[in-house]
Structure 1
Amino acid sequence: MILGAVIASLLAACADSVDTPPPRPQFPKWHPKQQRPADRDEQVVDAALAAFDFCRLIDQAAYDRRKGGDTRPVTREPEVKDGKKWCTLYRDGYEDLVYVHDVDPSHAWLRNDGTVVDLAGVKAYQVETRRDGGVSGCAITVPVSFQRAVKFELGMSRSKDCELLRDFATAGAAKLPRDLVYPPDGQDNGRVGACANWVSTTKGENCDPAVEAQVPTGAELILAAGAADPNVECAVFRDAVQKTFGPEFEPIATPGSCYFVEPRHRLQIEAGATANGGAPGEWLADPNKTYKDHHQTRFSGNPGVTFRSTDDREFSLYVSPLGNLDSPGHVRLKIAPQQERGIDDWDRFKTVSTVDVARAHAVMELVMATHFRMAR
């Protein structure tokens, strides 16, 4: 009876060990460590804009250069909309040609979508809107703090030529107080270094340019190090991404992910090697059918899965360096085309190209061969 009790106890213990998975390791949350740039005093900027005559920013000489043979009279009319100053250049009292206004702080992050332009020594951002095969709009924003800006736009009655607007914006920016504008390479936002190229609506407070980090030897150690520090994740992928996609892709560290970003915003890459993440098999099973085109494959002997978002705007690869798709932790790569900086193209639907899919496969193969050659 005693022997039977011992055997029963051992069997129960074995059953518990099989049915109860080991707890996942816990790692402290990583936070950016680099010093954030300081913004200008909000009250000083607000007072300067409140005292400034916005109609001075619409230059009569710029209009005279562009009016051609039209002799109809023009007027500059100030107004206040939602507490913000505006001024509009009208012809014949009704035809709006150009307007300039104080941009609400809630739109400050939008400047990250614009192409940086030099208005005769003043930093600005330009966005051209394209629709139905043509240019339907242009806007030029001149930052005066991290949160505030002065925006120049063409009225509905004018051609949407960015070159035309650039003439007005250059003349107008020259009239802004010098202590309000930034030089072409000035720090006009809270993003540090390559974080300025991250396609994100954040202010950059959770992003650091990646720093060099040592990649440990062994899959378990790499996944643990990656879970604790995204700089390690960037180090795992840096050489492979830059060799395959190009040296213009720079790594940035964010909590839980490494991103590779480039100045033109045409493509953004997310990379990770972490013990915190789920097992690759979870994405293969995809019980909620969130993705499509699931394929099980191998990279340098390691089992993995690839899939697309249902709108074809993202392609992902998840690989298990532990030899089992159902083991927690993974190595991942995601690629997603973005709206090109300075171009708001309504006619072009951004989808992952066949070429970039092939490059993503090449990156993962190189990463696994370099750091995870010995599959478990």
Structure 2
Amino acid sequence: MDTPLSPPQFPKWQPKQPRPADRDEQAVDATLAATDFCALIDRVTYALRQPLDAALATTRPEVKNGRKRCVLVRDDAEVLEVRDVDPAHTALRNDGAVVDLGGVKAYQVETRREGGIGGCAITVPVSFLRAIGFEIRSASRGKDCGLLRDFATAGAAKLPRDLVYPPDGQDSARVGACADWVSNSKGENCDPAVEAQVPAGAEVILAAGAADPNVECAVFRDAVKKTFGPDFAPIVTPGSCYFVEPRHRLQIEAGATANGGAPGEWLADPHGTFEDHRRISFSGNPGATLRNKGAGEFLMYVSPLGNLDSRGHVRLLLSTQRERGIDDWDRSKGLSAVDVAKAHAVMELVMATHFRVAR
């Protein structure tokens, strides 16, 4: 019996760029402990926006789950809340759109339900882990972000300047374009991609890609920029290259590696995970395309070795994401036909440039 070949082994790539340092945790704790959260609810702003209710509204300081908060109350109903945000929610900060509150960096998320606006939340970071949150509560008569922006801007102006960040401030451990990666990680396993040389020959490229995701990004960099535009920046993580953009509408994973399975394994899909399986060829290289059953992902796997069952592949995965700053439960997650066509164009250009098969 023939002994099956062992899969190739490559050293695991690790992020190399230095991580920024966070603020002193004890100093931030002391400042927040001394902060009067009710003072951050600007009553003048409320009187300007809701003059008929201003005289009836009162502030109520509380401690909830060990964290300070203050709520603006009208007729025993909560209208607005300011709170010390639990560090466990730090990963969700990346879902917000970056906004400028009079020179203070913040993140804004607008909630949409059934075609209308259901609420707004604004988070002002004060360290990599800590933040102050402003949120419109259900009793408010105005749920738009414009209303909350007025409150948050007035409240942020009352915070010490050394506690908040400027609009372009480094408020997380994510470096460069890693801030646009749709992931719950803190960015410790992500670097902005650096230029890398793409070698000649399919097997050599796959081996180089397995050892360094910067090579995988280099294989796709020009094709993605030409087809999807310059807003998509390459980042690298152990074993993967991504192209990310600030609005989070679409995320692209790309790769050319001797690791992982053969394209034929995805085409066979023995567990029935995907749908719309199709066999296709790019510049003479056999491949497969498929979708996830929610229609939010489109996957392409191509063999540059001329055989769908050969280990190693060139891949391109597109996935729709929730747009940054918008929590819209009604939004369709399906990929557009235009984006699918662009994915085909990218793969065709990559295979023609680096893996063309002579006929």
Q: Do both proteins adopt the same fold according to a TM-score greater than 0.5, normalized to the shorter chain?
A: yes
Q: Per-residue deviation at 1:71?
A: 5.8
Structure 2 counterpart of 1:267, one-letter code: L
Q: Retained in 2: the 8 A contact 1:127–1:138? A: yes
Q: Per-residue deviation at 1:68?
A: 2.8
Runs of 4+ in 1 over 2 A off after TM superposition: 68-74
- The runs of 5 or more residues in structure 1 that have no matched partner are 1-15
Identity of aligned residues (%): 74
Name the CA distance, whole Å, in 2 between partners of 1:290 and 1:58: 50
Please list, as runs of the form range in 1=range in 2, the aligned pairs for 1:1-376 lying within 5 A after superposition. Answer: 16=1, 19-70=2-53, 72-92=55-75, 94-158=76-140, 159-374=142-357
Q: Retained in 2: the 8 A contact 1:302–1:375? A: no
Report the secondary structure of 1:107's partner residue. Answer: helix
Structure 2 counterpart of 1:21, one-letter code: P
Name the CA distance, whole Å, in 2 between partners of 1:277 and 1:366: 23
Q: Per-residue deviation at 1:353?
A: 1.2
Q: Per-residue deviation at 1:150?
A: 0.2
Q: Per-residue deviation at 1:269?
A: 0.1
Structure 1 counterpart of 2:265, one-letter code: E
Structure 2 counterpart of 1:144, one-letter code: V
Equivalent residue pairs, number: 358
Question: Deviations for 1:19-74, whole angstroms, at most 9, x for unmatched residues?
Answer: 32222210011000000011111111111111111111001111111123346432
Q: Retained in 2: the 8 A contact 1:323–1:375? A: no
Question: Deviations for 1:328-352, whole angstroms, at most 9, x for unmatched residues?
Answer: 0000000001000000001112111
Q: Retained in 2: the 8 A contact 1:321–1:375? A: no
Name the CA distance, whole Å, in 1 between partners of 2:109 and 2:117: 11
Calculate the TM-score normalised by the size of structure 1: 0.93
- The runs of 5 or more residues in structure 2 that have no matched partner are none
Q: Retained in 1: the 8 A contact 2:234–2:244? A: yes
Structure 2 counterpart of 1:213, one-letter code: A
RMSD after superposition: 1.1
Calculate the TM-score normalised by the size of structure 2: 0.98
Structure 2 counterpart of 1:324, one-letter code: N
Structure 1 residues 180 and 330, CA gap change in structure 2 (3 angstroms): same
Report the secondary structure of 1:241's partner residue. Answer: helix
Q: Retained in 1: the 8 A contact 2:119–2:137? A: no
Structure 2 counterpart of 1:39, one-letter code: D
Q: Retained in 1: the 8 A contact 2:296–2:319? A: yes
> Could you say which structure has the larger radius of gyration?
1
Q: Retained in 1: the 8 A contact 2:46–2:54? A: no
Structure 1 counterpart of 2:118, one-letter code: S
Question: Deviations for 1:202-224, whole angstroms, at most 9, x for unmatched residues?
Answer: 00000000000000000010000
Report the secondary structure of 1:127's partner residue. Answer: strand
Structure 1 counterpart of 2:210, one-letter code: A
Name the CA distance, whole Å, in 2 between partners of 1:95 and 1:310: 43
